[in-house]
Structure 1
């Protein structure tokens, strides 16, 4: 039975709708998520989590001009939230604004209470790769793996960056760590082929090549593999 004397608390209602919005967004139910987050902001326009969630949702929906105002509002309300700084930095990087992104990554990482710095280090590394800052990227990925040795994206990127440099033994070490915890993709199988080929590991090369051809026959990486076989053999 409802308590008719209970007072309506808009802040509490906003928190509930924010939580619902985030859960719907995770399920891919973006229209419902948008409705819940709009309600949350109507109930409490100073809820930083609602603004952050709305920024992320607008990114998913491709509404680029509506992303940044929500990040800025969230950070004005909660300037020490490292997760928000990390998310905002990743968005800025996607928009080609590396210097601004770097500032927010560093702000996130400067917070000693940040529970998952490996996420910011990984995103900062991906941003550096995007702008062809290979050495800086590797430094970020190493730091991410120091905090959490099982960050698949960081392991993969380290394997790929070492392979690009011709440091195939190091590339293989990171690659093996990657495939131990992550599912193979066309990109990772093609990387495995290249590393194994460089190290003259015929068994591994044949295994990765067979998986790539059988599991992903239409992938661009499979085409690259077939083209390379015509030249290599």
Structure 2
């Protein structure tokens, strides 16, 4: 359905900057300068300006060399431009320095999954989920599910999608993927209800209509299948 997603949003979370005042400890300032450069780098990355993105991520790391957010940002940049060995090195360093950081564990897991190191990735996702200070549990469960799909383990993917939705019921990727797995298992009622929930939350989409067409075709409901096909034509 969809590839494993690197949660770049993680790089934006959990790192609130504060106003520097005369009472702010001098030690906090490198972290703030690093955060500012990370924000600039992410902005340039979204614009496709890779040179400026790298420049700012590297400056962020110079300001605070052991800062996990700066390490993850530059590692993600290297991943984006195909510098796999450089990305691997940075992710590995980040993990050694921050073995209990959920963001590090999750993002390194997504990288390893893309490199087809599925078991290692699964282990890192589960380590991230277990961290008491890590709150994006649904993200890691979803990434673990997508990685399991990529490895061909549909049963494990199904369990992870269910757990992702238990923590965050309206995750669209998990809703659609779990519905697809339910259709494959001929669990048509569960799949219909799941896709109805998707429509109530996100509206009618091509991806959900295609699943409903597949569902009703397999269930032998010709009239419903044709109705969804007409809806799909209206969306085109």
What TM-score do you get using the length of structure 2 for normalisation?
Answer: 0.79
From 116, 119, 137, the equivalent of 2:157 is: 137
Give the Cα separation in 2 of the matches to 1:145 and 1:30.
Answer: 35
Name which structure has the greater RCO, CA cutoff 8 Å, separation 6+.
2
Q: Is the 8 A contact 1:55 1:67 kept in 2?
A: yes
Q: Do the aligned partners of residues 22 and 76 (structure 1) sit closer, same or farther apart at CA in structure 2, a change above 3 Å counting?
A: farther
Aligned positions of 1:163-178 closer than 5 A: 163-178=183-198
Aligned residues: 210
Give 5+ residue unaligned stretches, structure 1. 1-6, 217-233
Give the Cα separation in 1 of the matches to 2:205 and 2:84.
Answer: 29
Render the CA deviation track for 1:97-132: whole Å, top value 9, x for unaligned: 011101101110111221110000000011111112
Give the Cα separation in 2 of the matches to 1:132 and 1:27.
Answer: 35
The match for 1:150 is 170
Greater mean deviation of Cα atoms: 16-25 or 180-189: 180-189
Give the Cα separation in 2 of the matches to 1:127 and 1:38.
Answer: 29
- 1:179 matched to 2:195: no
Q: Do the aligned partners of residues 112 and 21 (structure 1) sit closer, same or farther apart at CA in structure 2, a change above 3 Å counting?
A: same
How much does 1:57 deviate?
1.9
From 131, 135, 138, the equivalent of 1:111 is: 131
Greater mean deviation of Cα atoms: 196-205 or 50-59: 196-205
Render the CA deviation track for 1:50-100: whole Å, top value 9, x for unaligned: 110111222222322221111112222222211221111111111110111
Q: Do the aligned partners of residues 207 and 87 (structure 1) sit closer, same or farther apart at CA in structure 2, a change above 3 Å counting?
A: farther
The match for 1:92 is 112
Give the Cα separation in 1 of the matches to 2:195 and 2:45.
Answer: 32
The match for 1:190 is 210
Q: Do the aligned partners of residues 30 and 205 (structure 1) sit closer, same or farther apart at CA in structure 2, a change above 3 Å counting?
A: farther
Q: Is the 8 A contact 2:68 2:104 kept in 1?
A: no
